[in-house]
C-alpha cells in the first residue's frame, strides 16, 4: 500500500512537472482593460485565476489600454514582445478605429503589421473578431466586419469570436454607456474565453 501511494505521488509530481509555462499577451482596448473596474475585477484577472486552478501553465499579460486604437497597439507592440516574449498574442483591437470612422484600409494595414511583427518574434497571433454599431452606415460596417476573417485567412491565424456579441444582448451586463461590460459581465466573459485559451497548443 505504501509503495502504491509512493508511485502515485511520483506520477503526480512528474505530471505537474511536465506542465509547460506559456504566456498569452492580450493587446486590447477598454473591453479587455476592465474599463470602470479594478484590475482584480476584470475578466482577464478572473480568467487567470481559472487557469491557475486548472494548473494549465498559462500566464496572461494584460497590455490593454482604454481608448486604444490599432495604431496605438502597433506602436506599443515591439516593446511588449521584447519584454514578455509571449507564446501567443491576442489582438483585440479595432473598435475605437471603427467608432472614430477611421478608414478600414488603415485598420487592415495596422492589424496586418501587428501579425507580421508577432510572427517575426516567433510568437503566434490570434485575432479577435470585432463588431461595431452601424453608425457609419451599412457599407462601412460590412467592410469593417469582413476585414477580420479576411486577415485571419490571409495570415493563416486563429480568429476568435467577439465576446461582446453575447454580453451586449443583455442590458444587465452592460454599463450605463451601453458600450462597456459591467462587473456582472466579467465572470461571464472569463467563462467564454476559458475554452479558447485552453485550446491553444
DSSP per position, the chain: -HHHHHHHHHHHHHHHHTPPPEEEEEEE-HHHHTTTS-GGGSHHHHHHHHHHHTT--EEEEE---TT--HHHHHHHHHHHHHHH--SEEEEE--HHHHHTT--HHHHHHHHHHHHHHHHHTT-EEEEE-----STTHHHHHHHHHHHHHHHHHHHT-EEEPPTHHHHTT-GGGB-TTSSSB-GGGHHHHHHHHHHHHHT--
What residues are paired with 26 via a beta bridge? 62, 90
pLDDT at 123 (0 to 100): 98
pLDDT at 20 (0 to 100): 87
Domains and CATH numbers, the chain: 21-198 (3.40.50.1110)
Strand pairing class (124-128; 58-62): unpaired
Give CA–CA dist 195/192, Å, rounded.
7
Q: How far is CA 85 from CA 6, 73, 79, 88, 94, in A?
A: 38, 16, 10, 9, 23
Give CA–CA dist 8/94, Å, rounded.
50
pLDDT at 14 (0 to 100): 45
Q: What is the pTM of this model?
A: 0.90
Per-residue pLDDT tens, the chain, 201 aa: give them: 555 445 454 445 444 445 689 999 999 999 999 999 999 999 999 999 999 999 999 999 999 999 999 999 999 999 999 999 999 999 999 999 999 999 999 999 999 999 999 999 999 999 999 999 998 999 999 999 999 999 999 999 999 999 999 999 999 999 999 999 999 999 999 999 999 999 998
pLDDT at 18 (0 to 100): 55
- Point out the residues that are catalytic: 30, 177, 180
Amino acid at each position: 500500500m505504501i509503495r502504491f501511494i509512493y508511485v502515485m505521488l511520483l506520477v503526480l509530481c512528474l505530471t505537474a512537472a511536465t506542465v509547460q509555462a506559456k504566456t498569452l499577451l492580450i493587446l486590447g482596448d477598454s473591453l479587455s482593460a476592465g474599463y470602470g473596474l479594478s484590475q482584480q475585477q476584470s475578466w482577464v484577472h478572473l480568467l487567470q485565476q481559472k487557469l491557475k486552478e486548472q494548473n494549465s501553465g498559462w500566464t496572461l499579460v494584460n497590455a490593454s489600454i482604454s481608448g486604444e486604437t490599432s495604431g496605438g497597439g502597433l506602436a506599443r507592440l515591439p516593446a511588449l514582445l521584447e519584454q514578455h516574449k509571449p507564446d501567443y498574442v491576442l489582438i483585440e483591437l479595432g473598435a475605437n478605429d471603427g467608432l472614430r470612422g477611421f478608414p478600414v484600409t488603415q485598420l487592415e494595414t495596422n492589424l496586418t503589421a501587428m501579425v507580421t511583427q508577432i510572427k517575426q518574434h516567433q510568437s503566434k497571433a490570434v485575432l479577435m473578431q470585432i463588431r461595431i454599431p452601424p453608425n457609419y452606415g451599412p457599407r462601412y460596417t460590412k467592410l469593417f466586419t469582413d476585414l477580420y476573417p479576411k486577415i485571419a485567412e490571409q495570415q493563416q491565424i486563429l480568429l476568435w469570436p467577439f465576446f461582446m456579441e453575447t454580453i451586449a444582448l443583455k442590458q444587465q451586463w452592460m454599463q450605463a454607456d451601453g458600450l462597456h461590460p459591467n462587473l456582472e459581465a466579467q465572470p461571464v466573459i472569463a467563462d467564454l474565453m476559458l475554452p479558447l485559451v485552453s485550446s491553444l497548443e
